[in-house]
Amino acid sequence: MQEQLWKLRDEALERIQKAADLKMLNDVRVSYLGKKGPITEVLRGMGKLSKEERPKIGALANEVREVIAAEIAKKQEKLEQEEVEKKLAAETIDVTLPGRPVHIGNPHPITSVIEEIENLFLGMGYEVAEGPEVETDYYNFEALNLPKGHPARDMQDSFYITEEILMRTHTSPVQARTLEKHKGKGPVKIICPGKVYRRDTDDATHSHQFTQIEGLVVDENIRMSDLKGTLEVFAKKLFGKDREIRLRPSFFPFTEPSVEVDVSCFSCGKKGCSVCKGTGWIEILGAGMVHPNVLEMAGFDSKKYRGFAFGMGPERIAMLKYGIDDIRHFYTNDLRFLKQFKQA
């Protein structure tokens, strides 16, 4: 019986040593230490033994059981350790591999010009105001001193949705709405950027959809000199400190008097070149003193309040600034064009 137990022990230890994975090891455990295992079997046959032999065999059987259990535990730890190492090796990340390139886009040149202009005016205490692109006839025309029958209201020139609703043709309705909200009390100091729509055939200088930035200041004692000083500061900040501005008489229904504003050529410094077509001056915006009718319709007392307003086209400014010869480049989204405006 003693020999039988030793043989069992040696067999078990050999199988433990040969166990290549945790499953094989568990099979060894089950077959030697389980309830139906050979050691249990030996112990069952102890009844046939003498009184003196019984405790000896019992002790040996327990010892064999413990040796096998201890070896299994040791082997189990070793196999588990190996498994972890195998997993770590398989999942190693090579931090020296070059990364995949991330393609970073850039703002559209029109967006950049609008933001640059917004920031100049924010720095002078203006607020940015926005409003709907689908407008009523009232805010787009009537409130801006363009009464029914005015030629600018021609069905041929605007995108009408109904008789009374259209795509806004300028950002002025935002200013009319903002004025109305102030309920006859100044000051109002706003800049209004946004998309506008005209029923035009697209070509190098026309687009049925483009952008505008308008500015409006209304308060007591606002004068034409405030307009001129403001636009001079603006022109110097946008085109360089050596720039001058020049006002020429013009006409807009919503301003009286009205002016066109030229800036001295930033390309040749007024000597005359292809950018300024030899004149030394470049037209950049329209402006004027807010027409009393516009103030009154928005609820302002035109005896007490005056204002100035101006409007410009970011497309035109961007075309001048970057030497772009066709407005359609801004809307066709050719990456070869757009990528040129990537900032370092």
Binding residues for Mg(2+): 256
Binding of ligand 2NL by 191 (CB under 6 A): no
Binding of ligand 2NL by 109 (CB under 6 A): no
Binding of ligand 2NL by 186 (CB under 6 A): no
Long-range contacts at 51-58 (CB < 8 A, ≥ 24 apart): 53/1, 56/2, 57/1, 57/2, 57/5
Q: Which of 140, 158, 169, 175 binds ligand 2NL (CB under 6 A)?
A: 175
Task: Give whichever of 129 and 324 is closer to ligand 2NL, judged by the CB atom.
Answer: 129
Q: Which of 230, 286, 314, 329 binds ligand 2NL (CB under 6 A)?
A: 286
Helices (H) and strands (E) in the chain, counts: 11, 9
How far is 162 from 140, CA to CA, in rounded Å? Answer: 14
- To ligand 2NL, the closest distance from the beta carbon of 218 in angstroms equals 9
Q: For residues 291 and 145, is the Cβ–Cβ distance under 8 A?
A: yes
Task: Give whichever of 28 and 312 is closer to ligand 2NL, judged by the CB atom.
Answer: 312
What is the pattern of x (binds ligand 2NL, CB under 6 A) and - over residues 41-80? Answer: ----------------------------------------
Which parts of 91-143 fold into alpha helices (H)? 109-122, 137-140
Q: For residues 8 and 42, is the Cβ–Cβ distance under 8 A?
A: yes
Strand partners, 258: 250, 288
Q: For residues 109 and 330, is the Cβ–Cβ distance under 8 A?
A: yes
Q: Which of 32, 121, 197, 254 binds ligand 2NL (CB under 6 A)?
A: 254
How much of the chain is in helix, strand and coil states, percent to nearest 5? 45, 20, 35
Per CB under 6 A, the segment of 72-80, 131-139, 211-219, 265-273 that binds ligand 2NL is 211-219
- To ligand 2NL, the closest distance from the beta carbon of 255 in angstroms equals 5
The backbone torsions φ and ψ at residue 81, rounded to the nearest 5 degrees and listed phi first, read: -60, -45
How far is 239 from 315, CA to CA, in rounded Å? Answer: 15
Site for ligand 2NL in 303-342 (CB under 6 A): 309-313
Maximal CA-CA distance, the chain: 133
Per CB under 6 A, the segment of 59-67, 75-83, 92-100, 210-218 that binds ligand 2NL is 210-218
Per CB under 6 A, the segment of 24-32, 60-68, 69-77, 171-179 that binds ligand 2NL is 171-179
Residues in contact with ligand 2NL by the rule CB under 6 A = 172, 175-176, 212, 214, 216, 252, 254-255, 285-288, 290, 294, 309-313
